[in-house]
Structure 1
Amino acid sequence: MNPPFSAYVDESMLLTQGLYLMAAVFVGPIHADACRHDLRALLLRRQKRLHWRDENDKRRAQLIEAVAALRPTGIVVVGAGLDPKRQERARRKCMEHLLWEMGGHHVHDVIFERRHSELDLRDHELVAVLQGRHSMPPKLRLSWRDPLTEPLLWLPDIIAGALSRAERGDCRFWSQVNADLLVRRIDAR
């Protein structure tokens, strides 16, 4: 049997379309270091991290080609009905659904991109509630890391960015990576 995966999680929002996207990319322990190396090799001079929204379309094409070569697997939760004034509510709903989905996959560690202490605390509080309600797999170990020190967090950023573009009608990036990614649509109101 294969060792369990780690899931690396990041989000994207399309405020004009009322969508909150939360992507989880699964990485096996035997592939993690090679993936980190490949992702770091994509950095431009003086660039500290890869971030989809900071790149132009030419660069996005390079990034998506490199990510497609890694054959990413995972889950993207698309929460519809996002109220821009209630972004944290949409995040909680997407996070709850995503963590529940992890139960059907061989995932033990879930690594979220760190935001800032107050917002991360809200995530921790949600996890405590979900654990108390038995609404997430008990085997999951969750942590929050800085994308400057964990390149694997760049994967869900790129995946969420590509799907975000597809949701706006530009499927050229998403079509290269969507084969092994499950997309779940939920009501995030």
Structure 2
Amino acid sequence: MSAAHAFVDESIRNGYLLSAAVIPTDDLSIARGKLLELCKPGQRCLHMRDENDSRRREILSILTGLGIQVYLHRASVAGRPIRDGRDQCPRALVPQLLVLGVTRLVIESCNQDRRDQQIVQPISNRLAVPGRFVFLHSVPSAEPMLWAADAVAWAYGRGGDWRRRVEGLLGSVTELS
């Protein structure tokens, strides 16, 4: 893959699931436009938990044509704090993204942005070519590509036919112990 951007969202279902939607930089503006077209009047962003099944199918169908590959990392949280699983996933994900040629990582902003910084920055400092990798946080209403990460995490986590609908988008699924 040439230079790419990655957009990360999380889900907690059968463990902690981190979803990274990776797209070549050259395809980014078209993909954003297609996702924005899916918003209904007055809707600021897409979130699968807020959509009905018909809209979910439509969203997943559009995603399959955008050149996105999604990399999932799941950590068990049984018998341990969710924070442990949340820390474990980016530690495995970021090196993988660097190998894939990701130059920009956007993580959905939440109340744990500072902790994300503490995890990602040392990995970036150690493994990334200086000046060739940046990461930041963004809210979903400001970055439509976060919606892709959310949609695939939701569908994969739901299983069954929903998971089948995103199989073609999956670059890999990594189970962390």
Q: Aligned match of 2:83 in 69, 84, 88?
A: 88
* Counterpart for residue 20 of structure 2: 24
SS at match of 2:38: coil
In the alignment, structure 1 segments of 5+ residues that lack a partner are none
Q: Could you tell me which residue of structure 1 aligns to residue 11 of structure 2? A: 12
Tell me which residue corresponds to 2:95: 100
Shift in Å at residue 67 of structure 1?
Answer: 0.9
Kept in 2: contact 1:23–1:75 (CA 8 A)? yes
- What is the root-mean-square deviation in Å for CA atoms of aligned residues? 1.8
- 2:156 maps to a residue whose letter is L
Gaps of 5+ in 2: none
- Compute the TM-score of the two structures, normalised by the length of structure 2: 0.89
Aligned counterpart, 2:150: 157
Which residue of 129, 142, 147 maps to 2:135? 142
For 2:105 and 2:165, locate their aligned partners in 1 and report how far apart those are by CA, in whole Å: 25
The answer to whether the Cα contact below 8 Å between 1:72 and 1:177 also exists between their aligned partners in 2 is no
Letter in 1 for 2:87: R
**Mean CA deviation greater in 59-68 or 137-146:** 137-146
Give the secondary structure class of the aligned counterpart of 2:113: helix
Aligned to 1:185: 175
Q: What's the CA shift for 1:69?
A: 2.1
Q: Kindly indicate whether residue 53 of structure 2 is the aligned counterpart of residue 57 of structure 1.
A: yes
SS at match of 1:43: coil
Q: Is the 8 A contact 1:12 1:160 kept in 2?
A: yes
With the length of structure 1 as denominator, give the TM-score of the two structures: 0.83
How far did residue 180 of structure 1 move?
Answer: 4.3
| Residue matched to 2:164 | 175
Map of 1:56-75 to 2, 5 A cutoff?
Answer: 56-75=52-71
Give the number of aligned pairs.
173
Q: Deviations over 1:119-167 (max 9, x none)?
A: 10111112244357x3xx323321111111110111100010111111x
SS at the partner of 1:148? helix
Q: Secondary structure at the match of 1:69?
A: coil
Partners in 1 of 2:31 and 2:138 — Cα distance?
17
Say whether the 8 Å CA contact 1:74–1:180 is kept in structure 2. yes
Distance (Å, rounded) in 2 between the aligned partners of 1:22 and 1:97: 10
Q: Deviations over 1:31-79 (max 9, x none)?
A: 1111111001111122110001111212111111111122421311111
Look up the equivalent residue of 2:147 and give its one-letter code: W
1:81 aligned partner, one-letter code: V
- The one-letter amino acid paired with 1:121 is R
Work out the CA distance in 1 between the residues paired with 2:91 and 2:47: 25
